[in-house]
Amino acid sequence: MSKRDYYEVLGVSQDASKDEIKKAYRKLARKYHPDVSEEENASEKFKEAKEAYETLSDQQKRAQYDQFGHQDPNQGFGGFGGGQDFGGFGDIFDMFFGGGGRQRDPNAPRKGADLQYTMTLQFEEAIFGKSTDVEIPVEEACDTCDGSGAKPGTTPDTCPHCEGSGQINQEQNTPFGRVVNRRVCHYCQGSGKIIKDKCQTCGGDGRVTKRNKIHIDIPAGIDEGHQIRVQGKGEAGVNGGPAGDLFVVIRVQPHEFFQRDGDHIFCEIPLTFAQAALGDEIEVPTVHGKVMLKIPAGTQTGKTFRLKEKGAPNVHGRGQGDQHVKMKIITPKNLTERQKELLREFNDISGNEATEEQHGNFFERMKRAFKGD
């Protein structure tokens, strides 16, 4: 499937300014971001808009796109792309073409790493939501050296081996002749700089680990396994790049009485034989407080009643679930002689009539089975 024109994706003209492109991308990002959008194929549309913005917001990439479109100008040799590895041929291509466009500027801004934090909630906290603060260990730029890694009052020196480029050209003799192979400078690890007087706080790394207090708003109705994305609260960026994001993974402790399935809550209520036979009005606990439930006479074990909108709120704001209450008839133990006497009297009076009235079809089938019908 061919890609759509990047200008068409963002809805801008080919002579659009950088600000117009940025504004158009932000509008689409708010509309299609997977964390907030309910649109169909939102993830694919967001990815398409992001790809278009990354190309058109970069002057060099935009010029290349305007000239070549989606086709990679570095493709050749039967369609081998510059970013692929074909069983060792990539190294040969690197030797002939000096790495082509695959080398990354070691001093270019890079986004910081994303972080993940697991938060455990009580059952009711997941139902109603909460606001809380958490402490997250993150790497940030060293305050002492402002991230340079050099002792205050000093500056890093240009690497004499790569002359600040971060890369070293190595000549090799091959069956095809002498070729140049470009590699990351191992003296400066590609930074292009050498630190002689290192910062005592960070040891020359330019980054230190800190514990950041981050405020988290847990929405009502969140459930086990859901994630909350907190933008810009991950690791600090490199070379002035943006910070990564924090992803909070939710775990919910089980409840001793309630069980949850999506937005619905389930529970089991015990009934005495007398309550089930004669009917009653009982008090039923819900996460929203106690409610009265009328039990009709002749209620059987396993019968389920629905309490409308007494479940969990939908985390996306789409209504509220129900609570389903299942009846369980409890057989009494340790009966007194008087209780036994009354039950015998009840059994003598009713005989099989009561059970046949409730389960007539079952007993009819059983009788036919014994008669061989």
Are 264 and 311 in contact by the 8 Å Cβ rule? The answer is yes
Region of 164 (left: φ > 0; alpha: ψ -120 to 50; beta: rest) is left
What contacts 189, CB < 8 A, 6 or more positions away? 106
Structure tokens at 203: 């040891």
Whether 199 has a binding-site annotation, put simply, is: yes
Q: Which residue matches tokens 């006479």?
A: 297
Whether 267 has a binding-site annotation, put simply, is: no
d(CA 42, CA 198): 48
Whether 188 has a binding-site annotation, put simply, is: yes
d(CA 25, CA 31): 10
d(CA 321, CA 312): 5
Whether 185 has a binding-site annotation, put simply, is: yes
Q: Report CA 184 to chain centroid distance, whole Å.
A: 35
Structure tokens at 353: 């009539």
Whether 142 has a binding-site annotation, put simply, is: yes
d(CA 178, CA 171): 7
Annotation: binding site: 142, 145, 159, 162, 185, 188, 199, 202
Annotation: binding site for Zn(2+): 142, 145, 159, 162, 185, 188, 199, 202
